[in-house]
Amino acid sequence: MRKAIMPLAITCLLVACQPAPQPLSLGQDVCAHCKMTIVDEQFAAELVTTKSKVFKFDAIECMMAFLKENDQSNYALYLVRDFESPKDWQDATTSSYLISKEIPSPMGGYLSAWNNEQSASKMQANKGGEVHTWAEIVTLFEE
Amino acid sequence: MFRWILTCFLIPMGQGAIWANNILVCPTCPVFSVKEGIRLADPCDTVTVDGGHFAEGNLLIDKELWLIGKNWPVLDGEGKTEIITVASNHVHIESFKIENVGTSYTEDRAAIRLREVSDFCIKNNQLKNAFFGIYSQHSKNGIIEGNTVHGEAKEEVSSGNAIHLWYCDNVKIINNWTSGHRDGIYLEFVNSSTIKGNLSEHNVRYGLHFMFSNDDNYLQNTFRNNGAGVAVMYSKRIGMHGNLFEKNWGPSAFGLLLKEIHDSEIEGNQFQENTVGIFAETSNRIVYSKNNFIQNGWAMRISGGCQNLQITSNNFIGNSFDLAVHTSGVDNKFDGNFWSDYAGYDLDHNGIGDVPHRPMKLFSHVVSQTPESMVLLRSLFIDILNFSEKVSPIFTPENVVDNQPRMKKWTVVSTVKTTNNALPNPPLPGKFLQPAMNSQEGAENHLK
């Protein structure tokens, strides 16, 4: 019995240390930047630090503003949700982004995230605007 | 308005005595479809709908028109479409039941949408189970009055706002009753507007929400049991008078959230039984006066970057914490308030305590840093801690002090009572609160 506890404890510790996405509880969680209650999963975003501290945001533009104001070096995960199927987190750094005046986001950035470039371009053809990559969005918000 | 009367009545008269017609629509009438009624109408006509249940999809109103309901006709969207789309100036919609707007992720469907119009009036309608209730975009000079907007988003968040204004100017939102939506009233890029006498309750997020809106007033409204009461964000020159904020409980709940708002007045409001009465961050030049803070967790939490605050002549009664100030902001004044916690004396009987009062307890500072320490509240240890800090302040900002604490309560004349008393028995059809159209007058009365 005692032999089993030690490895188990170590595994638990290791698992606990791994930065992992945390689910949203809509209507309860508050945006770390603008203090608004998060109710719209389509635009939600999340940062997880290397020490597993989680920051949630009601809009991607809030996450970008937060990144600009705070130290950028220690984040393990950058997460956003796909505009069309916003049930799960996806990696923000590989997502595509659409800035379109026809899709108002919670904090006035008109910014939505997409699973892949095709779907973003499809919506762009429909609603207008510009498609960006993560790197472009980062530089855009640093200005 | 006068110009409208002129175009609608006088000019046609001059052209050969044409009078605005009244078209009657009812299930047994020759015209039995609202859509057909609207089609038949000439500009400036009235379409009266007498009873019945109409599920005709989207109704587009593209001419100047009065659309009046009698005996509560129902316009049903069957959960599929947006119901009324107004695309003309001078449209008046009154006394309809409008129900079942479909939820959609990609478009914001509404029971009534106003699209780039002016001089509209949406009055005494009952909206039920709408995704968005009344959605006004790029519109101006309108009145939204006496409507009830009830959503069914109790827990659910896939819900729109009850009254949603986007890029609007000079709109009056008066005596509406909203519940069960995301935000009761949402204003984004809305200027010079008045929100008065509304009741907003049981909404998922905010009772009233300002974003990037300037020069607006809200008065004599009640915000109760919402996710949070009111959020005023990124706005300037907002007047907040005589409102009631109550029972906004929860870990992230506020009575009033202020974020980057400047040059505003918060006066004569009542904050009762909220987790946090007012939470302010980066908000400058704000006057808080004649407010009642009663039995809140925190009466006020003032976070970083707040300068030139004037917190004077308020009553702080029975709050767990009166103030938590985390800003070294300059020119903040806390004088002349009544604090139920004040333990000083008044030997010269001038009504003002002889000993300055320090409203910020050390423990409120500790709790802000480590929320878990809340379990120690009311313990002897904390009392000793607070007392020692009171005697020689080290951690709490030194300038958070009331040099003239009042011995007696201020009498705050709250006008909420007079206008909103009827609201526990919510407005019934045909029994709406009497509108007070001149909001300026109301504000002045209040200030007396």
pTM of the model: 0.82
Amino acid (1-letter code) at residue B40? L
pLDDT along chain B (448 residues), means of 10: 52 52 91 93 93 92 94 91 93 94 80 95 93 94 95 70 94 94 93 95 91 94 91 94 91 88 94 94 92 94 87 93 82 91 91 91 82 86 85 80 92 54 38 35 37
Tell me the ipTM for this assembly. Answer: 0.72
Nearest to B39 by CA among B13, B8, B60: B60
pLDDT at B5: 52
Return the number of other C-beta atoms located less than 10 Å from residue A106's C-beta.
Answer: 23
- Compute the distance between CA of residue B205 and CA of residue B108 in angstroms, rounded to an integer: 17
Residue showing tokens 């009244």: B22
Q: Which residues of A touch B212 (CB under 8 A)?
A: 108
Residue B259 to residue A40, Cβ atoms within 8 A: no
CB B278 within 8 A of CB B253: no
> In the numeric block, which tokens belong to residue B228?
């949070």
Q: Which residues of A touch B279 (CB under 8 A)?
A: 35
A3 is a domain residue: no
A14 is a domain residue: no
Q: Which residues of A touch B302 (CB under 8 A)?
A: none
pLDDT at B372: 82
A88 is a domain residue: yes
Amino acid (1-letter code) at residue B446? H
Antiparallel, parallel or unpaired: β B222-224 and B270-272: unpaired
pLDDT at B434: 34
Partner residue opposite B212 with nearest CB, options A36, A42, A108? A108
pLDDT at A85: 85
- DSSP alpha helices (H): ranges in B213-332? none
A68 is a domain residue: yes
3-state secondary structure of B297: coil
Q: How far is A35 from chain B (nearest CA, A)?
A: 8
Return the number of other C-beta atoms located less than 10 Å from residue B374's C-beta.
Answer: 12
- Compute the distance between CA of residue B59 and CA of residue B61 in angstroms, rounded to an integer: 6
The contacts of residue B261 (CB under 8 Å, 6+ apart) are: B210, B232, B233, B234, B235, B236, B238, B283, B286
Q: Mutating which of B252, B260, B283, B326 best tests the A interface, going by the most A Cβ atoms within 10 A?
A: B252
CB B157 within 8 A of CB A41: yes
pLDDT at B205: 87
Answer positive or negative: Cα dihedral of A41, A44, A45, A48: negative
pLDDT at B435: 34
- Compute the distance between CA of residue B420 and CA of residue B270 in angstroms, rounded to an integer: 13
Please give the distance of CA B43 from its chain centroid, rounded to a whole number: 34
Q: How many domains does chain A have?
A: 1
pLDDT at A15: 61
Amino acid (1-letter code) at residue B302? I
Residue B105 to residue A84, Cβ atoms within 8 A: yes
> In the numeric block, which tokens belong to residue A114?
């997409």
Name the residue of chain B whose CA is nearest to A43's CA. B105
Domain enclosing residue A116, as ranges: 21-142
A6 is a domain residue: no
pLDDT at A35: 84
A12 is a domain residue: no
Residue A37 to residue B206, Cβ atoms within 8 A: yes
Q: How far is B205 from chain A (nearest CA, A)?
A: 6
- Compute the distance between CA of residue A114 and CA of residue A91 in angstroms, rounded to an integer: 10
pLDDT at B337: 94
The distance between the two most distant Cα atoms of chain A, rounded to a whole number of Å, is: 64
Partner residue opposite A34 with nearest CB, options B204, B251, B259? B259
**pLDDT tens digits, A43-97:** 999 999 988 889 999 999 999 999 888 877 788 999 999 988 888 899 999 999 9
- DSSP alpha helices (H): ranges in B41-131? none
- CB pairs < 8 Å spanning A and B: 45
pLDDT at B363: 87
Residue B188 to residue A36, Cβ atoms within 8 A: no
Name the residue of chain B whose CA is nearest to A102's CA. B107
Residue B231 to residue A36, Cβ atoms within 8 A: yes
- Compute the distance between CA of residue B396 and CA of residue B164 in angstroms, rounded to an integer: 41
Q: Which residues of B touch A34 (CB under 8 A)?
A: 233, 259
Q: Which residues of B touch A30 (CB under 8 A)?
A: 252
Partner residue opposite B252 with nearest CB, options A37, A104, A107? A37
Nearest to B387 by CA among B367, B358, B353, B366: B358
- Residue spans of beta strands (DSSP E) within B33-180: 45-50, 53-54, 59-61, 65-70, 74-76, 84-86, 91-94, 97-99, 110-115, 121-123, 126-128, 132-137, 140-145, 148-150, 163-174, 177-179
Nearest to B268 by CA among B248, B296, B289, B286: B289
A106 is a domain residue: yes
> In the numeric block, which tokens belong to residue B255?
């009575």
Name the residue of chain A whose CA is nearest to B108's CA. A103
**Cα–Cα distances in angstroms (integers) from residue B237 to residues B139, B193, B215, B216, B359, in the given order:** 21, 12, 5, 7, 28
CB B155 within 8 A of CB B182: no
Nearest to B26 by CA among B69, B86, B82: B69
Partner residue opposite A37 with nearest CB, options B106, B212, B227? B227
Alpha-carbon radius of gyration of chain B:
25
Amino acid (1-letter code) at residue B60? L
A2 is a domain residue: no
Query: Given CB atoms, is B278 within the 8 Å cutoff of chain A?
Result: no
Residue A28 to residue B212, Cβ atoms within 8 A: no
Query: Given CB atoms, is B172 within the 8 Å cutoff of chain A?
Result: no
Q: Which residues of A touch B205 (CB under 8 A)?
A: 27, 36-37, 39
